[in-house]
Amino acid sequence: MIFKVLISDPLSEEGIQPLREADNIEVTVETNLSPEQLKEKIGQFDALLVRSQTKVTREIISSATNLKIIGRAGVGVDNIDLDAATEHGVIVVNAPDGNTNSAAEHTMAMLMSLARKIPQAYYALKHQKWDRKSHVGVELKNKTLGVVGLGRIGAEVAARAKGQRMKIIAYDPFLTEEKAEKMGIDYGTVEDVLRKADFITVHTPLLKETKHLINADAFKIMKDGVQIINCARGGIIDEDALYDAIVNKKVAGAALDVFEEEPAVNHKLLELPEVIATPHLGASTIEAQENVAIDVSDDVVNFLTGGLARNPVNLPSVPKELMNKIEPYFLLSEKLGAFLTRLTVDVIEEVNIYYSGELAEVEVAPLTRNTLKGLLKRHLGEHVNDVNASFLADKKGITVNEHKTSSTKGFTNLLTVEVKTKKATRLVSGTLLNGLGARIVKVDNYSVDVVPEGHLVFIRHKDQPGAIGRVGSLLAEQNINIATMQVGRSDVGGDAIMMLTIDKNLEELDLEKLNDLADIYGVVAIDL
Ligand SMILES: NC(=O)C1=CN([C@@H]2O[C@H](COP(=O)(O)OP(=O)(O)OC[C@H]3O[C@@H](n4cnc5c(N)ncnc54)[C@H](O)[C@@H]3O)[C@@H](O)[C@H]2O)C=CC1
Ligand SMILES: O=C(O)CCC(=O)C(=O)O
């Protein structure tokens, strides 16, 4: 059998040698295809290899009747509709490590160019202006670099900036004080980083939680004259807010490799002399392009010829017999993880998963991975799946323990997820009720009975007359209908919880007003 592979973005010729050399693989390189042309052609191919230009939309995937694998020669998979790929049984693989070094080096190049106004001075000189006065820069030595997102690239940037004698302060949901100390950097909340830094560089994926992470409010708390670098993803910084902050002289300069809409030509930020920019070149080196092309080509060859892919982004693969037994628990396990991650404010160090009743009789590793997927997605994004979840948890220094117990507390099956941080232990239990579907039956020490779906609001409060009424009245004022409500308490007049399901989107809920009500200790909004 011959497998047909389409390469639709420019990839390194050296990097695709594994594909060219494989006996049963035929390679077609056709770049610059329009979406319509790609849609028309894709049905003939078993594999598609892309960089970031090709948008692999649901429409393209739906037309790809033979497609088995999509390879992304790079990290970010935001140009590929992962849900559509998973739904169509197409595995997506990426090359997470191959361009780390290049992206980190590009960030350093941008940082130094920004500090010394090199692009502006070059531009002036090219236009016959010998202007030394307008291009006075600042030193990096003894300045503070704030790193938001200390993953592969963020950590490499931090290590290099130390070599420039900079002080580093970083925030990452998986960074602990101990880890920061080992790396010789300061650990802070995102606010600490924004307040203390002279230069701020972002290295997160673009997620719901990181979209416009650097917005007008964030600029307000930064130092006057701060300088900003984005070599990660357009959209992490609110471009309108950045524009205003530069015009108002709050921000002295910005270096951008990425934009909300690419290609970004005629962008208003590019009109500002304080902004220097490159057209998404972070990974554009001979070495990175060779590395990422080799990594995805190897994975495509392995996968098409019956082997395992090393860097799957979405692969669900469990033996059929086991699948039949555990499938009903898949959604519950992910939702328990997703629920618990919203209740956890500090860095998660340990996860304990207790399987009871009929669940104690089967192989539960896929459920553990699925629970971790629910836990990790909030901070690591959609590329977390049940294949890479355990690996990512391990990489983030989280200890994961599975426990099987016979104690079911009256349920035929019970799944309990417990997370431990330095400051707290939180837990949630769920079950499948015969004929009634999934239920959350316990949160910390409180028994509840909540369907784990929709828009949930979890409120900790003091068990006092009027507390529940005040919440109800405030939601009524905001025209928000309460669909279900559960209350639980430890003892009379002590700590208590409310779990509400509301009919409106959580964005329409004024969390601050709820938080400000008398006897309310904390409110968390959770979309399940
Ligand atoms: N400009 C370019 O050509 C390139 C851009 N990239 C982009 O750079 C970014 C980083 O890539 P990697 O370091 O390889 O990814 P990574 O997954 O190793 O690191 C991302 C880090 O962001 C952290 N994070 C998630 N939410 C956060 C939040 N709200 N606040 C702070 N940190 C948060 C995660 O915990 C993780 O440690 C990605 O967006 C990637 O697509 C990557 C390569 C080249
Ligand atoms: O393919 C490219 O050049 C972009 C690389 C990138 O942005 C990524 O790997 O996330």
Give the tens place of pLDDT for each residue, 27-48. 999 999 999 999 999 999 999 9
Tell me which of 234 and 87 has the higher pLDDT: 234
Q: What does the alpha-carbon distance between residue 231 and residue 241 come to, in Å, rounded to a whole number? A: 18
For residue 208, give the ligand nearest its CA: 1
The CATH topology of domain 3-96+287-304 is: Rossmann fold (3.40.50)
The token pair at 66 is: 């033979």
- Number of residues written out for the chain: 528
Q: What does the alpha-carbon distance between residue 527 and residue 506 come to, in Å, rounded to a whole number? A: 7
Dist. CA 75 → ligand 1 center (Å): 9
Q: Ligand 2: does its nearest atom lie under 6 Å from the Cβ of 51?
A: yes
Contacts of 92 (CB under 8 A, 6+ apart): 69, 70, 71, 72, 77, 80, 82, 85, 312, 313, 314
Q: What does the alpha-carbon distance between residue 44 and residue 42 come to, in Å, rounded to a whole number? A: 5
The band of 358, judged by pLDDT with boundaries at 50, 70 and 90, is confident
As annotated, the residues of the chain forming the CATH 3.40.50.720 domain(s) are 3-96+287-304, 100-277
pLDDT digits (tens, 9 = 90+) for 237-273: 999 999 999 999 999 999 999 999 999 999 999 999 9
Instruction: State the CATH class of domain 454-528.
Output: alpha beta
| For ligand 1, atom 37: residue with the closest CA | 151
What is the structure's pLDDT at 163?
98
Instruction: Write the DSSP string, 189-236.
Output: -HHHHHHH-SEEEE-----TTTTTSB-HHHHHHSPTTEEEEE-S-TTS
What is the structure's pLDDT at 319?
56
CA 303 vs. chain centroid, Å, equals: 26
In contact, 337 and 372? CB cutoff 8 Å: yes
- The set of catalytic residues is 233, 262, 280
Q: 43: burial class by Cβ within 10 Å (0-12, 13-18, 19+)?
A: exposed
What is the structure's pLDDT at 387?
62
Q: Ligand 1: does its nearest atom lie under 6 Å from the Cβ of 380?
A: yes
Q: Ligand 2: does its nearest atom lie under 6 Å from the Cβ of 71?
A: no
In contact, 59 and 36? CB cutoff 8 Å: no
The token pair at 164 is: 């420039």
Please choose, from the candidates 467, 465, 466, 524, the residue with its C-alpha nearest in 3D space to the C-alpha of residue 500: 524
| For ligand 1, atom 39: residue with the closest CA | 205
Dist. CA 31 → ligand 2 center (Å): 16
Q: Which of 343-357, 359-373, 387-401 holds the top average pLDDT? A: 343-357
The CATH topology of domain 315-453 is: 60s Ribosomal Protein L30; Chain: A; (3.30.1330)
Q: Ligand 1: does its nearest atom lie under 6 Å from the Cβ of 103?
A: yes
What's the 3-state SS for 115-126? HHCHHHHHHHHH
DSSP 3-state helix, strand, coil percentages of the chain (rounded to 5)?
A: 35, 25, 40
Dist. CA 95 → ligand 2 center (Å): 10
Q: Which of 56-60, 249-253, 464-468 has the lowest mean pLDDT?
A: 464-468
Q: What does the alpha-carbon distance between residue 101 and residue 153 come to, in Å, rounded to a whole number? A: 7
Q: Ligand 1: does its nearest atom lie under 6 Å from the Cβ of 76?
A: yes
Dist. CA 40 → ligand 1 center (Å): 34
Q: Ligand 2: does its nearest atom lie under 6 Å from the Cβ of 52?
A: yes
pLDDT digits (tens, 9 = 90+) for 159-216: 999 999 999 999 999 999 999 999 999 999 999 999 999 999 999 999 989 999 999 9
The residues with which 437 forms a beta bridge, in sequence order, are 433
SS3 4: strand
Dist. CA 517 → ligand 1 center (Å): 37
- Going 299 to 303 to 308 to 312, the CA torsion angle's sign is positive
What is the structure's pLDDT at 315?
66
Q: What does the alpha-carbon distance between residue 464 and residue 487 come to, in Å, rounded to a whole number? A: 12
Q: Ligand 2: does its nearest atom lie under 6 Å from the Cβ of 467?
A: no
The mean pLDDT value for 383-410 works out to: 84
Q: Phi, psi (5° rounding) for residue 227?
A: -125, 145
| For ligand 1, atom 7: residue with the closest CA | 232
Dist. CA 516 → ligand 2 center (Å): 44
The band of 9, judged by pLDDT with boundaries at 50, 70 and 90, is very high
In contact, 361 and 324? CB cutoff 8 Å: no
Is 80 exceeded by the pLDDT of residue 323? no
Q: Ligand 2: does its nearest atom lie under 6 Å from the Cβ of 149?
A: no
- The amino acid sitting at 16 is I
**Nearest atom within ligand 1 for CA of residue 148:** 31
Based on C-alpha coordinates, what's the Rg of the chain? 25
H-helix or E-strand spanning residue 152: helix 152-163
Query: How far apart, in Å, are the Cα atoms of 182 and each of 144, 163, 164, 178, 187?
Result: 18, 16, 19, 6, 11
In contact, 150 and 205? CB cutoff 8 Å: no
Is 90 exceeded by the pLDDT of residue 111? yes
**Nearest atom within ligand 1 for CA of residue 284:** 3
Q: Which of 114-118, 239-243, 365-369 has the lowest mean pLDDT?
A: 365-369
Residue to mutate (ligand 1; options 53, 75, 97, 392; most atoms within 8 A of CB): 75
**Nearest atom within ligand 1 for CA of residue 210:** 29
| For ligand 2, atom 7: residue with the closest CA | 76
Q: What does the alpha-carbon distance between residue 439 and residue 373 come to, in Å, rounded to a whole number? A: 19
The band of 342, judged by pLDDT with boundaries at 50, 70 and 90, is very high
Q: Ligand 1: does its nearest atom lie under 6 Å from the Cβ of 152?
A: yes
For residue 212, give the ligand nearest its CA: 1
H-helix or E-strand spanning residue 520: strand 520-527
Dist. CA 282 → ligand 1 center (Å): 13
Q: Kindly report the average pLDDT of the chain as a whole number.
A: 93
For residue 284, give the ligand nearest its CA: 2
| For ligand 1, atom 19: residue with the closest CA | 151
Instruction: Write the DSSP string, 51-93.
Output: -SSS-B-HHHHHH-TT--EEEESSS--TTB-HHHHHHTT-EEE
What is the structure's pLDDT at 317?
47
pLDDT digits (tens, 9 = 90+) for 429-455: 999 988 788 999 999 989 999 999 999
Please choose, from the candidates 185, 241, 193, the residue with its C-alpha nearest in 3D space to the C-alpha of residue 214: 241
- The amino acid sitting at 224 is D
Q: What does the alpha-carbon distance between residue 48 and residue 61 come to, in Å, rounded to a whole number? A: 10
What is the structure's pLDDT at 87?
73
For residue 51, give the ligand nearest its CA: 2
Residue to mutate (ligand 1; options 101, 172, 176; most atoms within 8 A of CB): 172
Dist. CA 49 → ligand 2 center (Å): 13
Q: Ligand 1: does its nearest atom lie under 6 Å from the Cβ of 366?
A: no
Pairing of strands 25-29, 3-7: parallel
What's the 3-state SS for 445-495? CEEEEECCCCEEEEEEEECCCCHHHHHHHHHHHCCCCEEEEEEEECCCCCE
Identify the architecture of domain 100-277 in CATH: 3-Layer(aba) Sandwich (3.40)
Q: Which of 138-142, 325-329, 513-517 holds the top average pLDDT? A: 138-142
For residue 150, give the ligand nearest its CA: 1
Q: Ligand 2: does its nearest atom lie under 6 Å from the Cβ of 155?
A: no
Q: Is the pTM of this model over 0.90?
A: no
The mean pLDDT value for 341-360 works out to: 93
Is 70 exceeded by the pLDDT of residue 415? yes
Q: Ligand 1: does its nearest atom lie under 6 Å from the Cβ of 282?
A: yes
Q: Ligand 1: does its nearest atom lie under 6 Å from the Cβ of 8?
A: no
For residue 149, give the ligand nearest its CA: 1
Please choose, from the candidates 159, 76, 111, the residue with its C-alpha nearest in 3D space to the C-alpha of residue 256: 111
Q: What does the alpha-carbon distance between residue 92 and residue 80 come to, in Å, rounded to a whole number? A: 9
Q: Ligand 1: does its nearest atom lie under 6 Å from the Cβ of 283?
A: yes
